[in-house]
Homo-oligomer: A and B are copies of this chain.
């Protein structure tokens, strides 16, 4: 019996796709940059079925590519070239298994979407705070395996901070049941930490217990115009001092980025006139403790000393949604105008201004006709640095210079103690960065971890790690 037949027997005929037309969507990444053939797509319905599928693939020497909502930006969840591989989709494992309103936890299978978790929390009067553009499609298993971030990390942390327990299918098909919902548990090595952010290279996350927060009952949201990057940093510091963890969003946008968004947003216009902008939000859990007062108290000083040139506070939930839409319109506008060579770097927060200036100077000197679109999560030191083709050219015209641009942008961030991939991960697309920027010691430890958990290299080959000794 060949592998596909054995798999069909084990998990059911309809759970194994082999027709080219059925496979295409699973073989191609979100950004449509990578597409390679898989032997089949497995769609198990239970942890036991995942276990059987993994064990069969391992025995047959077929590699396993775990896939969530397939919204990743670095092609970490789709096949690579030249490998006999199966896509293991968690699509059908989409049940919420429990919600505890006293312990503030939710337990979900890996294929539940991020939005479904947010919605279930909201229905129970709670908040699940991780929020990102692809949340309607991204799976919980995927956002855990990529340690996804988003716009509220500065207050609530990224996915790692939300995970209390995991269930994982291991490389030999055995199941590790770590589905505990505890706030404290110091009993041996904290194994879940190994699988979070591991991009499916060490095991398949099949379910998780996640932490919930009390519902937010009031928000104050403002677009604040500033004169410079230093001004944006000063706004962040002042609001953070004023609000602490209640400062739940602090986004930075250059004027060029804002104009790109406004140009392609029906009825869009700049909220005020300034060289750069901060979009900040303060949240509160009770009427007695007004976020508006906190925001106003912070803004008063900033407007007086000239750090803030102008500020517009949302006067209604509709205005707040408009503000958020304008933020989201920036990458949309960029795409409509032809896309960009994209980067997702992080630096220590205080190093943001010099990093941006160094990138601007580098692009001007070496790729002078290219246009920059920079925005990011200032409270996390996370900048999305997007290098757009020269006016009148397309992204394809940048093909020859793409690797050089990326190398130069990443090097500037790393030289300042930064990261060349803040929240998007490595996948297939950032492996050259791993080889360039990670020490030999660090790569050795990562390979040892890989060998300890997946000795035969069953999971997600060609992702994350450059070949040993490369």
Contacts and interface: CB of A to CB of B under 8 A. Distances in A.
Nearest to A201: B189
A193 interface: yes
A47 interface: no
A127 to B, nearest CB: 9
A324 B13 CA distance: 64
Contact of A102 (B154, B293, B349): B349
Contacts of A187: 419-421, 425-426, 430, 433-434, 437-438
Given A182-B418, A196-B190, A418-B182, A102 B214 contact: no
B449 A194 contact: yes
In this complex, the interface size class of chain A, counting residues with CB under 8 Å from chain B, is 35 or more
A296 to B, nearest CB: 8
Contacts of A233: 102
B237 A102 contact: yes
A448 B442 contact: no
B441 A445 contact: no
23 contacts: A103-B381, A104-B240, A149-B186, A160-B190, A180-B419, A182-B422, A184-B346, A184-B382, A184-B419, A185-B421, A185-B422, A189-B446, A190-B196, A193-B196, A214-B240, A215-B241, A216-B244, A242-B285, A246-B285, A289-B294, A449-B449, A451-B452, A452-B452
Interface of A: 100, 102-105, 146-147, 149, 153-155, 157-158, 160-161, 170, 174-178, 180-191, 193-194, 196-198, 201-202, 213-216, 233, 237, 240-246, 283-290, 293-294, 296-298, 346-351, 377, 379-382, 417-426, 430, 433-434, 437-439, 441-442, 445-446, 448-453, 464-465
